[in-house]
């Protein structure tokens, strides 16, 4: 069913349609948001949490 889905010509057509729909200024923002979402999802799967307090190793040393 999906054997020919990711052929180069299909991907070019999808990118062209996305360019027409969103415009050239909005595409980098969409890509950045998608990347942040994927990164956040992967971190949550691995158990990393930004709200957790840093451990002793992650804290920067205080310089006198």
Kindly report, residue by residue over 10-42, the tens digit of the pLDDT: 888 988 998 899 888 888 898 899 899 999 999
Q: CA triplet 37, 4, 18: central angle to 5 degrees? A: 45
Number of other CB atoms surrounding residue 27 within 10 Å: 14
Q: What's residue 60's pLDDT? A: 61
Residue 49: its pLDDT value, please? 59
| Domain-wise residue ranges, the chain | 14-42
Residue 36: the pLDDT is 94
**pLDDT at site 10:** 87
What Rg do the C-alpha atoms of the chain give, in angstroms?
20
Question: What is the structure's pLDDT at 52?
Answer: 56
pTM of the predicted model as reported, rounded to 2 decimal places: 0.48
Ramachandran region of residue 63, left (φ > 0), alpha (ψ -120 to 50) or beta? beta
């Amino acid at each position: 069913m999906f054997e020919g889905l990711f052929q180069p010509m299909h991907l070019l057509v999808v990118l062209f349609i996305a360019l027409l729909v969103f415009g050239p200024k909005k595409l980098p923002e969409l890509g950045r948001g998608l990347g942040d979402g994927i990164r956040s999802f992967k971190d949550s799967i691995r158990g990393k949490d930004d709200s957790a307090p840093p451990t002793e190793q992650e804290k920067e040393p205080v310089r006198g």
